[in-house]
Amino acid sequence: MYFESNGISIYYEKHGNGEKNILILPGWGNTRNTFYNIINNLKDEFCVYIIDYPGFGNSKILEKELNIYDYAFLINSFIKKLNIDNPVIIAHSFGGRITAILQGYYKLNLKKIILIDVAGIKRRKSFKLFFKEKLYKLLKRLTYLLPKIKQEKYRQKLLLAFASADYKSIPISMKKTFQNIIKEDLRKYYKNISCDTLIIWGDNDLDTPLKDGLLIKKLIKNSEIIVYKNSNHFCYLNYPELTNRIIKSFLKEK
């Protein structure tokens, strides 16, 4: 099924017919396909919605530039128009950015939140990263010293040498969108989250380090954190059955 708002179309699926709603927000570049284990664990008791962001999965690539607030507006519209009342949100990585804005800015009525290795904490650059960016900018300036026929090939070689894996993997039309997203620090929105929140994190997460999870735990008043040992950025895939049991336990009424 597809949902459209402001000219942006996204693919979504609905599983189960329970009275209580769950919305799963995947990470950047990720799709619904890695969440079927969680969905199958919940669909008998809940109505579970999951989406593909623009440019990923079954959703078309966007030609226009977006920022994180555009994504949050899109998901907020999705929730409102489909009458997904008082949902639980399960968010991984990039999905956490959207969740923080949904409640921290839109004040959306959410029952509970589960944050898994989420993003949105912008930290000071290390000296190594600072030096790498300066070197890239310097080498990029040398482009114009080359014959025009060789300039584009030189730019592509620089990009392959310096860009992150996430940046390399996305279509050209979405690269500016990616830059817009990662520059935002969302601490002020995480701080405004008021509903019960469970944070799950891998101790060996190299994409969003554990110190980000511990900071988010401090920012969100009604939160608890569970740390998986020997686990990476996709800790819900490293320990699928444990994750299912923890989620089910957290979703039980107090």
Q: What is the DSSP string of 56-81?
A: STTSPPPSS---HHHHHHHHHHHHHH
* Mean pLDDT computed over every residue of the chain: 90
pLDDT of the residue at 128: 58
Residue 127 has pLDDT above 60, yes or no: no
Residue 79 carries which side chain, given as an amino acid letter?
A: I
Mean pLDDT of 204-230: 96
Hey, what are 196's tokens?
């019960």
Q: Which residues contact 116 (CB under 8 A, 6 or more apart)?
A: 90, 91, 92, 93, 96, 199, 200, 201, 235, 236
Residue 162 has pLDDT above 70, yes or no: no
pLDDT of the residue at 155: 74
Q: How far apart, in whole angstroms, are the C-alpha atoms of residue 176 and residue 166?
A: 12
Residue 168 has pLDDT above 70, yes or no: no
Alpha-helical regions (H) of the chain: 36-42, 68-81, 94-104, 127-141, 148-162, 165-169, 175-182, 187-191, 210-219, 235-238, 240-251
Hey, what are 62's tokens?
């966007």
Hey, what are 58's tokens?
């079954």
